[in-house]
């Protein structure tokens, strides 16, 4: 029986990520996935742009895309979008990779190569690390799933039904039609 070689966060941080690949660390195991496709990146960029425009006018926090964040011992994830409330990054070495702090909000655009069990584990890791809400966006089905602290089942929202992405406890005043994101 083969044994797994587990990595520490420090060993993970020292790895060179090859072009066309993306790394994450899940309970010490190196997760290797292909780079995202055009539609995934366009959706992420559209979201990031809307967040940044809102935060420029309402400085209640910081948004970043594709940044490694440490969620616990042996766990490093790279949310497509991460939001940190104002003040949470004070005193944090922002040049450090991975950031040693979990975001308040994590957004993931689901790719065709993502597996349901891997996504469920990732959501659980975010929530255990103190992330207040996790959103999964499924472009082909035009659905978004919101997972929150203390809730067993996700809230499901539909772009086709005209529903919105909103997170009033974290982003008061920010609202975006899912149909504008999941094009």
Task: Catalogue all structural domains in the chain, each as residue range(s) with its CATH number.
Answer: 37-181 (3.90.1570.10)
Lookup: tokens for 36? 């995202």
Looking up tokens 């029986």, which residue turns up? 1
In the predicted model, what is the mean pLDDT of the chain? 93
pLDDT score at 1: 55
Instruction: Tell me phi and psi for residue 20, to 5 degrees.
Output: 85, 0
pLDDT at 39 over 70: yes
Rounded CA-CA distance 141/145 in Å is 11
pLDDT score at 4: 67
pLDDT score at 2: 56
Looking up tokens 């472009």, which residue turns up? 139
pLDDT band at 135 (very low <50, low <70, confident <90, very high): very high
Question: Which three-class secondary structure state does DSSP give residue 126?
Answer: helix
Write the pLDDT tens digit of every residue in 61-99.
999 999 999 999 999 999 999 999 999 999 999 999 999
- The residues near 136 (Cβ < 8 Å, ≥ 6 apart) are 108, 110, 119, 123, 144, 145, 147, 154
- The residues near 120 (Cβ < 8 Å, ≥ 6 apart) are none
- Reported residue count of the chain is 183
Q: Which pTM was predicted?
A: 0.91
pLDDT score at 35: 87
Looking up tokens 């994450």, which residue turns up? 24
The verdict on whether omega for the bond into residue 26 sits within 30 degrees of 0, i.e. cis, is no
CB-count exposure of residue 115 (10 Å: 0-12, 13-18, 19+): exposed
The verdict on whether omega for the bond into residue 98 sits within 30 degrees of 0, i.e. cis, is yes
């Amino acid at each position: 029986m083969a044994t797994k070689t587990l990595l520490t966060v420090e060993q993970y941080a020292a790895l060179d990520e090859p072009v066309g690949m993306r790394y994450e660390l899940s309970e010490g195991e190196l997760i290797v996935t292909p780079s995202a496709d055009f539609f995934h990146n366009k959706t992420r960029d559209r979201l990031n742009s809307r967040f940044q425009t809102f935060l420029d006018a309402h400085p209640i926090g910081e948004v970043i895309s594709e940044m490694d964040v440490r969620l616990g011992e042996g766990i490093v994830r790279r949310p497509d979008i991460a939001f940190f409330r104002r003040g949470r990054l004070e005193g944090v070495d922002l040049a450090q990779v991975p950031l040693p702090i979990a975001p308040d909000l994590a957004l993931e655009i689901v790719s065709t190569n993502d597996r349901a069990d891997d996504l469920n584990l990732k959501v659980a890791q975010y929530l255990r690390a103190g992330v207040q809400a996790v959103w999964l966006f499924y472009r082909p089905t035009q659905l978004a799933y919101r997972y929150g602290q203390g809730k067993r089942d996700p809230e499901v929202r539909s772009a086709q039904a005209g529903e919105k992405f909103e997170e009033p406890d974290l982003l008061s005043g920010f609202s975006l039609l899912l149909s504008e994101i999941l094009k």
